[in-house]
Amino acid sequence: MAETNNTPLVDIRHLKEYFNITVGPFQTKPLKAVDDVSFTINRGETLGLVGESGCGKTTVGRTILQLYKPTGGEIYYDGKRVQTKADLKEFRKKATMVFQDPYSSLNPRMTVSDIIAEPLDVHKLYKTKEERRERILELMNYVGLNSEHASRYAHEFSGGQRQRIGIARALAVNPEFIVCDEPVSALDVSIQAQVINMFDELQDKLGLTYLFIAHDLLVVRHISDRIAVMYLGKMVELADAKEIYDHPLHPYSQSLISAVPVPDPNIARANKRIVLKGDIPSPLKAPSGCPFRTRCQYACDKCVESMPEFKEVSAGHFVACHRTAEIN
């Protein structure tokens, strides 16, 4: 899937997204939804981003596209920093998003053709009405919708079909990069496979690059070239998909992988489930040092004192843990 290219298509450096939360009369406190996250995505690659609900996965995706204005950090696209309004306008012609909920992300008052054509209208990507109509039908064909669906409304479709409409809308500007924010989590399992396979086919056909956000590790493993693991706003591990499944190094990743169901009953019985103690701390009251230390069986004094550096421990395998060498 991935192509080798010296310059990554997407380069995120020290990204931060803090939200000011009211905690009392005239008092606010920053909620660190994303705190110093760095990674790259190569052209033609799929990077899977996983973690428990509330860890900041969706915020990363939305902040990259600047649906939320970043609190800090730098976003580079194809070697150029996205900084000014002109940069952002150009970036949004090449980068787009498929949202999680196909029920609320589509305007119920618009026909399917108008929903799909909205980006075409915004960026003025057609010269005539006929050209606009042809492009709409082409996009519908990409995602397996019939031409007679064009004049209908979103509420007349199933969840899977609505998500296809959302994907067609995302493809309208001929993007190179798509943030897929849990695009199959609201769908039935039988429909999930169809939509995942469609993402694969579209990637091969159109040369797309994905940031694929999900909490289902089986889905992520199927579609991803590399996988990044987040916990409480921090990135704790990043590696090749097979590598992170076969040799997870961070205690949190090890727990997540141990929970993935295995179809072979003999292997499933032999696998030891790693159950985490306690609940995820509130991002408003994040622990000092390593954010995972309150639930980690290997936590020591150093974990209380300082946040471990996110560093490369083997070729392409990054992890943020003080005791990686001891526990693996």
Domain boundaries, given as residue ranges, for the chain: 248-328
Residue 233 neighbours by CB under 8 Å, 6+ apart: 32, 33, 34, 35, 37, 55, 56, 283, 286, 291
Instruction: Report the pLDDT averaged over residues 247-254.
Output: 94
Note the pLDDT of residue 268: 66
φ/ψ (deg, to 5) at 282: -70, 135
6, pLDDT greater than 90: no
> Using an 8 Å Cβ cutoff, are 233 and 217 in contact?
no
> Using an 8 Å Cβ cutoff, are 236 and 321 in contact?
yes
Quote the CA–CA distance of 178 and 143 in Å, as a whole number: 15
Lowest mean pLDDT among 147-151, 305-309, 324-328: 324-328
2, pLDDT greater than 50: no
| Mean pLDDT over each residue of the chain, to the nearest integer | 91
Q: Can you name the residues that pair with 31 across neighbouring β-strands?
A: 19
pTM of the model: 0.91
244, pLDDT greater than 90: yes
- How many CB atoms sit inside 10 A of residue 46's CB? 26
216, pLDDT greater than 90: no
Give the tens place of pLDDT for each residue, 271-301.
777 888 878 888 888 889 999 999 998 999 9
Note the pLDDT of residue 19: 93
Quote the CA–CA distance of 49 and 227 in Å, as a whole number: 6
Quote the CA–CA distance of 173 and 283 in Å, as a whole number: 36
Q: 305 falls in which pLDDT band (50, 70, 90)?
A: very high
3, pLDDT greater than 50: no
Nearest to 250 by CA among 325, 150, 180: 325
